[in-house]
Amino acid sequence: MDATLASVEQFEVFVNRPENAERVFELVAGEIVEVPSNPYASKIAARILGFIFMYLLENNIGHLTGADGGYQVGGDRYAPDVGFISYASQAQLVTDGYNPNPPTLAVEVVSSDTAAENATLTRKVANYMAAGTIVWVVRPQMKTVEVFVSGQTVVTHREDDTLGGGTALPNFELAINTIFDA
């Protein structure tokens, strides 16, 4: 898409073009952005998704989505690497398009630590928090997970720390060092 800002309607037409069928896009502040990734970032996201999946097998409290599961967050459209939405927020997921409600928890794995990706990520985190979404920003290069919760100070977890699920995933715990390669 060119430098002009896109409406939600233009975004929907763009992402539904046949040539975009295998690609993932987000609408961030009117800009259509192809979601960056790489195999290592995907591996980290898959590990986190796996741990949350195991937790949800014993605590059936919501829906879990991967990087292809998009959400409407305000007027934007996001595809977090891992998304969770509680049954209390939405009993059933939609079967096409972007889910109409924001996720309860969004996990964003930084695939390249560029200025452009960080600027997009900063906008997304602000919008997620305005919608009440808890955000985990995973930085594989630094082996950290930053936890953003609206109205709270950002908490950075390092390799030797344990990440808790907070209000999104009560009693969930994840040792940070289990998601990164040794």
| pLDDT score of 3 | 55
Question: How far is it, in rounded angstroms, from Cα 134 to Cα 102?
Answer: 10
| pLDDT score of 97 | 86
Copy the structure tokens of residue 94. 């939609």
| pLDDT tens, N- to C-terminus, the chain (182 residues) | 445 788 888 988 888 888 988 778 888 888 888 877 788 999 999 999 999 999 999 999 999 999 888 999 999 999 999 999 999 999 999 998 899 999 999 999 998 878 888 888 999 999 999 999 999 999 999 999 999 999 999 999 999 999 999 999 999 999 999 999 76
Q: Tell me which residue of 49, 25, 155 sits closest to 105, measured CA to CA.
A: 49
Contact 176/162 with Cβ under 8 angstroms?
Answer: yes
Strands 134-139, 105-109: pairing is parallel
Q: How many residues does the chain have?
A: 182
Q: Tell me which residue of 113, 111, 119 sits closest to 80, measured CA to CA.
A: 111
| pLDDT score of 2 | 46
| SS3 of residue 47 by DSSP | helix
pTM for the structure as a whole: 0.89
